[in-house]
Amino acid sequence: MMNSMTTDELTIAIAVPLEAEYVEQIRAIDPAITVLYEPDLLPPERFPADHSGDPAFKRTPEQEERYWAMLNKAEVLYGFPNESPAGLARIAGSNPRLQWIHAMAAGAGGAVKASGLDTATLDKFKVTTSAGVHSLPLAEFAALGILNGFKRSAELAQDQAAKVWPELRVPTKLVNGSKLVVTGLGEIGMETARVARALGMRVSGTKRNVEAIDGIEEVATNDGLAGLLATADAVVNTLPGTPYTEKLFSREVFAAMKPGTVFVNVGRGTVVDEEALLEALENGQVSYACLDVFAVEPLPQDSPLWNHPKVMVSPHTSALSAAENRLIAERFCSNLRIFLEGGEMPHLVDTVHFY
């Protein structure tokens, strides 16, 4: 709840690049709030929802001073300063008025952890994420990965590049009627399940708290993942990177898969033991892997995943869409109404598990 603050005392600072139309949308929530927005202090976007902006952008010393002075006047920030853990650490130490920061990322817990702030400092303000905003583009990307694997798109591309017309025609697998396991039945996982069911797939999945879910055939904890995989044709990981999910997809878990399983990762790279994945690709447990996230990013040049014939490498961009800034601004406005009313904020970063 707000600290017995009247609306006309609330100041919001825009810390990351954002189109003016969405700034006006935030201002329109309540005429009494003040929104600080100085676009000349923010790096230009190179593409829609480029929250970090052009890395070539540099503020003059005078602009740098203005930027931080603006942020230190606010109780609420739209975005991490400079979209970085270091910026978060700095503002936490310099702005005693700070009550809430809305992060651009769905998985902002990693950046909060990387800031190095202690629990006592993190307890002084709330951090909400943009979880859910990216659900549909991630679900669509997951569907792309499943279809690529089932329809042998990697082999088709190789034959096309070599101008080979195979003498023997190889059939593809039907998505309709096949079984999908989604690890992490949160907003992204449930949207993935919805899209998969529209394609005719039967969906099971994992959740920290096991409960019956409409449209999901079986729900288990991650401890029960191996049992779900025995009959799955495809697996989509949507789990965040936490100590509890570290290398969840181990040799043992890949070995529990049905041979020929399609694997898609739109969660976090640390959830997968990449050496174990490579072994599973080689021995046929995994027939195709569509990967948007990796244990180390950017993916090191010497990683064998780059050139693997059964792997699609996506540079952690599957959540991006031209509509992202609009969707995040809408999410922020919804949260702002809750904040002004003293309600419970959704999508708070867990400062123990950092997700």
What CATH number does the domain containing 172 carry?
Answer: 3.40.50.720
Q: Are residues 287 and 335 both part of a single domain?
A: no
User: pLDDT at residue 4 above 50?
Assistant: no
Q: Given this model, what pLDDT does residue 9 score?
A: 84
Q: Are residues 61 and 159 both part of a single domain?
A: no
Contact 145, 239 (CB under 8 A): no
Residues in Cβ contact with 322 at an 8 Å cutoff, skipping those fewer than 6 apart: 48, 49
Q: Are residues 280 and 142 both part of a single domain?
A: yes
User: pLDDT at residue 5 above 70?
Assistant: no
Q: Are residues 126 and 143 both part of a single domain?
A: no
- Residue 348 in domain: no
Reading the block at residue 73, the tokens are: 């006047």
d(CA 190, CA 183): 10
Q: Are residues 171 and 36 both part of a single domain?
A: no
Catalytic residue set: 268, 297, 316
Residues in Cβ contact with 5 at an 8 Å cutoff, skipping those fewer than 6 apart: 75
CA atoms within 13 A on the CB side of 57: 19
Residue range 293-318, pLDDT digits in tens:
999 999 999 999 999 999 999 999 99
Question: Residue 107 — pLDDT band, cuts 50, 70, 90?
Answer: confident
Q: Given this model, what pLDDT does residue 131 score?
A: 85
Q: Are residues 253 and 212 both part of a single domain?
A: yes
- Residue 173 in domain: yes
Domain count, the chain: 2
d(CA 238, CA 287): 19
Q: Are residues 37 and 86 both part of a single domain?
A: yes
Q: Are residues 96 and 154 both part of a single domain?
A: no
Q: Are residues 165 and 305 both part of a single domain?
A: yes
Q: Are residues 103 and 213 both part of a single domain?
A: no
User: pLDDT at residue 253 above 90?
Assistant: yes
* Domain span at 75: 7-133+322-340
d(CA 25, CA 113): 31
Q: Are residues 200 and 85 both part of a single domain?
A: no
